[in-house]
Amino acid sequence: MSKFRINWDLIKDILFGIFTLGVWFLLKPKPGQRKSVVREWVDAIIFAVIAATIIRTFFIEAYTIPTPSMEKSLLVGDFLFVSKVSYGARIPMTPLSFPFAHHTLPLVGGKSYLEWIKIGYHRLPGFGHVNRGDCVVFNWPAENLGRPVDKKENYIKRCIGLPGDSLQLIDREVFINGSQIPLPINAQTSYHVITDGQAFSEQSIEKLGIREVEVLSPTEFNFYLTRSAADKMKNFGNVKKIEPNMMTRNIFQDFIFPFNSKYGWNVDNFGPVWIPKKEVHWQLIQAILIPIEK
């Protein structure tokens, strides 16, 4: 005898459709009734909010860059539009939310969404696939603040590994499937700089394109530099020593996933890790991971 199973997702979709249709009938003017000026403005605002929400959810969304992690490609404060149709728009997982707010209400604070209705992870077909080197926006998966997936912080990074690839970092050098991948010319890394106490001029800092400086002492600094900028800084008269801030292997950083000290992974030495591929069976993944765990 087959067991009857309720499709809750379908029921939620039906209820949401009924609610939307009810609102439309409620706002629809009666035959022969002329809208007041206030009613016309209200209808125009509602239509604009609904249209903008649909465009923002399924087609294109605007973002600003909050941090310098993509420096030399994207600068802090840069304004960009991100296509949702390129890889396929994601269906909202928490559809009851304040318009145009991500996870926090503007001005007053607090959650901008309700979790009365939750929809599973579903994505519409896209016009392409993520390729190596693409800049992509995604919700930070390691966030543990208890927010739903679609309300976690938005991050933008460059894709360097694809499904089925083996990824490894050795002394800041990237290896994909055992082959070294050349770093981009404008890639920046952290350098420790020791001076004779004489300050850097604003002109020299601007000339090297430096936007972030960490002052450790009157004679010690941390800079994020490209290799060419580091070579130029070596020739400054006040610079006595400059060297990379390199984390050696087996020095564990607790923000590196997986969060386990026995791996000894950090920002400069990481992996190797195998990037899961959809067609590969879970038993094969376990067979690969178990030796690493041991």
* Residues with catalytic roles: 69, 157
Beta-bridged to residue 192, according to DSSP, are 222, 243
Give the Cα separation of 76 and 11 in Å (integer): 44
Place of tokens 């990379």: 244
Give the Cα separation of 112 and 121 in Å (integer): 20
